Structure 1
Amino acid sequence: MMLRTITADDMDRVIQIWFESSIIAHAFADPEYWRSKTEAMRTLYIPNSETWVWEDDENIQGFLSLNKNDLAALFVLPEAQGHGIGTALMDLAKSLRDELTLAVYTENTRSVSFYRKQGFTEIREQTDEHTGRRELIMAWKK
């Protein structure tokens, strides 16, 4: 197992993980919405973030993107979830920052629970302007 910064060669795999995980974690949203965001993830969001990947002997299984103190993305392949990868990525984020904020859909109860277990608290609830779905803004401080 290795945590390392993303390279250009990793982009296809990272986008695959993001897309597959997004469709499952956000089953309440139309998959076409996520498909429409693929190019922006590849050319805008990931390149403008500090991104780390979790890799085992075979392949990248998850990744984390930070944009300043915003936890912009934390995704683990669905079949690799529940094995400590998300926690390892979160531990890395906490070691790199003194405070973190994130947005998570209220309907994504598994992720909300994970973030609470990681010490995040709810700051406010709002409507995501892109999807019209309710989301929580959560924060963590050292």
Structure 2
Amino acid sequence: MIAIRKSRPSDGERILEIWRNAVDSTHDFLTPEDRAALDALVSGFLPSASSWLAVDGSDHPIGFMLMDTGHMDALFVDPAVHGTGVGAALVRHGLALHPGMTTDVNEQNGRAIIFYERMGFRRIGRSARDGQGRPYPLVHLAHGR
């Protein structure tokens, strides 16, 4: 059973662990230097960021989502539970709060693009670089029409 709840300060290290494991599993396009730079950036804010967590029956975090006024800034799921509906549960929760939710996904992460399109997102644009100006193109997505 997957439950969704707000993060607590005590969840910070687990959230960072999920991020690291998920990035290592899905972002093989990153150079080692960019992966290290992102880790330094993310570890500076992620553990204390307010997020929505997917937790298992023991209240153990297995995925998280960062939202900012209808834009999903991040969705990461522990690779041990990929394909079990955790990401979909988080997205459905976000859509219940913000039906026209938007997000961005790395163009090189084809599995993520397929996932979002199956969840009802459509492509609305593209950027040649990621949010840090690195050469990792982003696909901009919006839910609904």
TM-score for both structures, normalised by structure 1: 0.88
Distance 1:4 1:47, change over 3 A: same
Tell me, what secondary structure is at the counterpart of 2:101? strand
How far the C-alpha of 1:134 sits from its partner, in A, is: 1.7
Which residue identity lines up with residue 131 of structure 1 in the other structure?
Answer: R
Q: Distance in 1 between matches of 2:8 and 2:83?
A: 25
Partner of 1:139: 142
8 Å contact kept, 1:70–1:100: yes
Distance of 1:14 and 1:35 partners within structure 2: 17
Cα deviations by residue, 1:2-42 (Å, 9 ceiling, x for unpaired): 21100010010001111111122110112442332334334
- The one-letter code matched in structure 2 to 1:101 is T
List per-residue Cα deviations over 1:78-97 (Å, max 9, x = no partner): 11011111110011000011
Q: Number of aligned pairs?
A: 141
More strand by share: 1
- Alpha-carbon deviations, 1:64-91, whole Å to 9, x = none? 1101121101111111011111110011
CA RMSD between the two structures: 1.9
Distance 1:106 1:89 in 2: 21
Aligned to 1:78: 79
1:1-142 paired onto structure 2 within 5 Å = 1-44=2-45, 47=48, 50-58=50-58, 59-129=60-130, 130-141=133-144
Residue ranges of structure 1 left out of the alignment (5+ in a row)? none
TM-score by length of 2: 0.86
Structure 2 segments unaligned to the other structure (5+ residues): none
Where has structure 1 moved over 4 Å in runs of 4 or more? Answer: 45-48
